Amino acid sequence: MSKMQEVSILLVEDDSGHARLIEKNLRRSNITNHIITVGDGQQALDYVFSEGEYTGTERASPLLVLLDLNLPVLDGYQVLDRMKADERSKRIPVIILTTTDDTREVSRCYNSGCNVYITKPVEYEEFADAIHKLGLFLTIVSAPNEE
Amino acid sequence: MKIGAKLTFAFGGVILLIGISAIVSMDGYRKIHEEFELLKEDIIPGAIVMSEMVGRTHQIAHDAMDYMIAKEEEEEEEEVLIITGLGFLEKAGREHLEHERHIGEEEEKTAQELLEKIGRFNSGVMGIISLKKQGASIDELIEKEEKEVHTAMDALTKQLEEHVAIHMEELAKAEESVHKAHVFATRIVLLTTCLIIALSAAVASLITRSIVSPLHALHKGTEIIGQGNLDYKLASNAKDEVGQLSRAFDRMVEDLKVTTTSVNNLNKEISARKQAEEVLQQSEKKLRTITRSALDAIIMMDGGGNIAYWNPAAQKMFGYSSDEIIGKDVHEALAPRKYHEAYKKGIEGFKKTGQGPAVGKVLELTALRKDGSEFPMEISVSSIMVKGSWWAVAIIRDITERKQAEEQIQRYAAELEQANEELKTFTYAVSHDLRAPLLNMKGFAAELRFALELIGPSMNAALPHLDEGQRQAVTKALEEDVPEALDFIDSSAIRMDRFINALLKLSRLGRRELKLEPIDMHALVQATLKTLAHQIEERQVKVTVGHLPEMVTDRISMEQIMGNILDNAVKYLDPGRPGEIEITAERGDDETTFRVRDNGRGISEEDIDKVFALFRRAGRQDIPGEGMGLLYVQTLVRRHGGRIWCESKLGVGTTFTFTISNYLEKGGENV
3-state SS of B446-469 is HHHHHHHHHHHHHHHHHHHHCCHH
Residue A22 lies in a domain: yes
Question: Hey, of B425, B447, B503, which one would you mutate to test binding to chain A, going by the most A CBs within 10 A of its CB?
Answer: B447
pLDDT for A3 equals 46
| φ, ψ dihedrals at B36, nearest 5° | -65, -40
The reply to whether residue A125 touches residue B446, judged by beta carbons under 8 angstroms, is yes
- State which residues form the domain around A113: 2-139
Domain count, chain A: 1
pLDDT-derived band at B665 (thresholds 50, 70, 90) equals low
Cβ contact (<8 Å) for A70 and B432? Answer: yes
The answer as to whether B100 is a domain residue is yes
Rounded to whole angstroms, what are the CA distances from B513 to A142, B418, B641? 42, 21, 14
- Could you tell me the CATH number of the domain that includes residue B179? 1.20.120.1730
CA–CA dist B6, B468 (Å, integer): 176
Q: Would residue B287 count as lying in a domain?
A: no
On chain A, the residues whose CB falls within 8 A of the CB of B503 are none
High-pLDDT (> 70) share of chain A, %: 95
Q: Nearest by CB to B440, which of A17, A99, A123?
A: A17
Number of H helices, E strands in chain B: 20, 12
CA B167 to chain centroid: 106
For residue range B292-346, what is the model confidence (pLDDT) as tens digits?
Answer: 888 888 999 988 889 998 988 899 899 999 899 999 988 888 888 888 888 888 8
* Same domain as B412, residue B354: no
Quickly state the pLDDT bin for B431 (edges 50, 70, 90). low
- Least confident stretch, A44-58, B11-25, B117-131: B11-25
Residue B497 CB-half CA count within 13 A: 19
- B176/B171 Cα distance (integer angstroms): 8
Instruction: Give pairs for B441-444: CB < 8 Å, separation 24+.
Output: B441/B489, B441/B492, B441/B493, B442/A123, B442/A124, B442/B489, B442/B490, B442/B493, B442/B494, B443/A17, B443/A18, B443/A21, B443/A124, B443/A127, B443/A128, B444/A17, B444/A21
- Cβ neighbour number for residue B125 with a 10 Å cutoff: 27
Are B47 and B126 members of one domain? yes
Q: Which of B439, B446, B447 is the closest to A18 by Cβ?
A: B439
Looking from the CA of B461 toward its CB, the CA atoms found within 13 Å total 5
> Which residue is closest to A98 within chain B, CA to CA?
B432
pLDDT for position A66: 92
Q: Which of B398, B420, B444 is the last residue of a domain?
A: B398
* pLDDT at residue A5 tops 60: no
B241 and B2 Cβ atoms separated by less than 8 Å: yes
Please tell me the predicted confidence (pLDDT) of residue A96.
92
Residue B282 pLDDT > 50, yes or no?
yes
Residue B543 falls within a domain, yes or no? yes
Q: Do A99 and B437 touch (CB under 8 A)?
A: no
CA distance B482 to chain A (A): 19
Are the beta carbons of A17 and B437 separated by less than 8 Å?
A: yes
Asked if the bond preceding A62 is cis, omega within 30° of 0, the reply is yes
Q: What phi and psi, each to the nearest 5 degrees, are found at residue B10?
A: -65, -45
Q: Touching check for B447 and chain A: CB below 8 Å?
A: yes
Beta strands at B550-554 and B297-301: parallel, antiparallel or unpaired: unpaired
Residue of A21, A99, A100 with shortest CB distance to B443: A21
Which of A15, A120, A124 has the CB atom closest to B442's CB atom? A124
DSSP A53: G
* Residue A117 within a domain: yes
Q: Are A122 and B497 inside 8 Å of each other by CB? A: yes
pLDDT in tens, B517-554: 898 999 999 999 998 888 888 888 899 999 999 988 88
What residues pair up with B299 in beta bridges, in sequence order? B310, B394
Same domain? For B311 and B433 the reply is no
Q: Other C-beta atoms within 10 Å of B134: how many?
A: 8
Q: Is residue B150 part of a domain?
A: yes
Residue B514 phi/psi, 5-degree rounding, is: -80, 135
CB contact under 8 A, B439 and A21: yes
Give kind and range of the element (H or E) at residue B241. Answer: helix B241-293
Domain count along chain B: 4
For residue B542, report the phi and psi dihedrals to the nearest 5 degrees. -90, 115
Mark whether B383 and B424 lie in a shared domain. no
How does DSSP classify residue A121? P
State mean pLDDT over A25-40: 88
Greatest distance between any 2 Cα atoms in chain A: 41
CA distance linking residue A125 with residue B486, whole number of Å: 14
Residue A36 contacts residue A58 (beta carbons within 8 Å): no
Q: What is the pLDDT of residue B670?
A: 43
Residue B493: closest C-alpha in chain A: A123
Q: Find the range with the poorest average confidence among A3-17, B206-220, B491-505.
A: B206-220
Give yes or no: residues B601 and B521 share one domain: yes
CATH number for A16: 3.40.50.2300
Identify which of A99, A125, A127 has the shortest CB distance to residue B432. A99
pLDDT one-digit tens code per residue, B117-162? 888 888 888 888 888 888 787 887 788 778 877 888 888 888 888 8
| B597 and B660 fall within a common domain | yes
Is the CB of B443 inside 8 Å of chain A's CB atoms?
yes
What CATH number does residue B578 fall under? 3.30.565.10
Q: Which residue in B428, B433, B439 is closest to A127 by CB distance?
A: B439
Report the DSSP beta bridge partners of residue B329: B306
Residues of chain A in contact with residue B446, where contact means CB-CB under 8 angstroms, are 124-125, 128
Q: Regarding predicted confidence, which is higher, B39 or B570?
A: B570
Is A77 within a domain? yes
Q: What percent of chain B has pLDDT over 70?
A: 94
Which ipTM did the prediction report? Answer: 0.76
Interchain contact, A128 vs B443, CB within 8 Å: yes
Interface of A with B (CB under 8 A): 15, 17-18, 21, 24, 70, 99-100, 120, 122-125, 127-128
Q: Are residues B196 and B301 in the same domain?
A: no
CA–CA min distance A47, chain B (Å): 25
Contacts 24+ apart (CB under 8 A), B529-533: B529/B566, B531/B563, B532/B566, B532/B567, B532/B570
Domain end residue (candidates: B182, B202, B222): B202
Alpha-carbon gap: B317 to the closest alpha carbon of chain A (Å): 55
Are B136 and B151 within one domain?
A: yes
Band of the pLDDT at B1, cuts 50, 70, 90? low
Measured between CA atoms, how close is B463 to chain A, in angstroms? 29
Q: Which residue of B has its CA nearest to A128?
A: B443
Interval B396-429: pLDDT, tens:
988 888 888 888 888 888 888 788 778 767 776 6
How near does any CA of chain B get to the CA of A99, in Å?
6
pLDDT tens readout for residues B78-130 = 888 888 888 888 888 888 888 888 878 888 888 888 888 888 888 888 888 88
Distance CA B24, CA A22 (A): 170
Q: Is B436 on the interface with A (CB under 8 A)?
A: yes
Mark yes or no for CB contact A99/B497 under 8 Å: no
- Nearest C-alpha of chain B: how many angstroms from A93? 24
B583 Cα distance to chain centroid: 67
Q: Is residue A125 part of a domain?
A: yes
Give the minimum alpha-carbon distance from A142 to chain B in angstroms, rounded to a whole number: 30
Same domain for B619 and B589, yes or no, is yes
Question: Which of A124, A126, A132 to mutate to probe the B interface, most B CBs <10 Å?
Answer: A124
Check pLDDT > 80 for residue B195. Answer: no
Residue A145 counted as domain residue: no
Subunit contact B446:A15, Cβ cutoff 8 A:
no
Q: Return the amino acid letter for A84.
A: K
- CA–CA min distance A110, chain B (Å): 20
Domain that holds residue B452: 405-499
Q: Where are the alpha helices (DSSP H) in B532-644?
A: 533-539, 555-571, 629-639
- Whether the CB of B439 is below 8 Å from some CB of chain A: the reply is yes
Q: Which of B175, B202, B229 is the last residue of a domain?
A: B202
The residue with greater pLDDT, B115 or A143, is B115
As a whole number of angstroms, the distance between CA B242 and CA B265 comes to 32
Residues B546 and B642 in one domain: yes
Q: Which helix (H) or strand (E) is A65 found in, with range?
A: strand A63-67
Residue B242 falls inside a structural domain: no
Does some domain include residue A84? yes
When the pLDDT of each residue in chain B is averaged and rounded to a whole number, the result is 82
Q: Does residue B485 share a domain with residue B551?
A: no
Let me know if residue B236 belongs to a domain.
no
* Structure confidence at residue B668 as a pLDDT band (50, 70, 90): very low
Is B569 part of a structural domain of the chain? yes
Q: Does B669 touch chain A (CB under 8 A)?
A: no
On whether any CB of chain A is under 8 Å from the CB of B497, the answer is yes
Give the 3-state secondary structure of B497-542: HHHHHHHHHHHHHHHCCCCEEEEEHHHHHHHHHHHCHHHHHHHCCE
- Is some CB atom of chain A closer than 8 A to the CB atom of B437? yes
Question: What does the pLDDT read at residue A2?
Answer: 43
Of A99, A100, A124, the CB nearest to B443: A124
Using a CB-CB distance cutoff of 8 angstroms, which residues of chain B are in contact with residue A18? 436, 439-440, 443
| Over residues B22-41, mean pLDDT | 73
Greatest mean pLDDT range, B24-28, B256-260, B545-549: B545-549
- A65 inside domain: yes
| Residue B616 pLDDT grade (very low, low, confident, very high; cuts 50, 70, 90) | low
Q: Is the predicted pLDDT of residue B666 greater than 80, yes or no? A: no
* A chain contacts of residue B487, beta-carbon cutoff 8 Å: none
Q: Which chain A residues have a beta carbon less than 8 Å from that of B443?
A: 17-18, 21, 124, 127-128
CA distance A119 to chain B (A): 12
| Burial classification of residue B453, based on how many CB atoms lie within 10 Å of its CB (0-12 exposed, 13-18 middle, 19 or more buried) | exposed
pLDDT digits (tens, 9 = 90+) for A75-120: 899 999 999 999 988 889 999 998 877 888 899 999 999 999 988 8
A99 closest CB neighbour out of B435, B444, B446 = B435
Which of B426, B440, B508 is most worth mutating to test chain A (most A CB atoms within 10 A of its CB)?
Answer: B440
Q: How far apart are CA A113 and CA A120, in angstroms?
A: 19
Size of interface A-B (CB pairs under 8 A): 46
pLDDT of B593 > 90? The answer is: yes
Name the residue type at position B404: Q
**Are residue B494 and residue B517 in the same domain, yes or no?**
no
Residue B562 domain-assigned?
A: yes
**Which of A120-124, B573-577, B607-611, B643-647 holds the top average pLDDT?**
B643-647
Number of H helices, E strands in chain A: 6, 5
Min CA distance, B496 vs chain A (Å)?
Answer: 11
In a domain, A95, yes or no: yes
Handedness of CA B88, B90, B94, B100 (dihedral sign): positive
CA B337 to centroid of chain Cα atoms:
53
Q: With an 8 Å Cβ cutoff, is B431 touching chain A?
A: yes
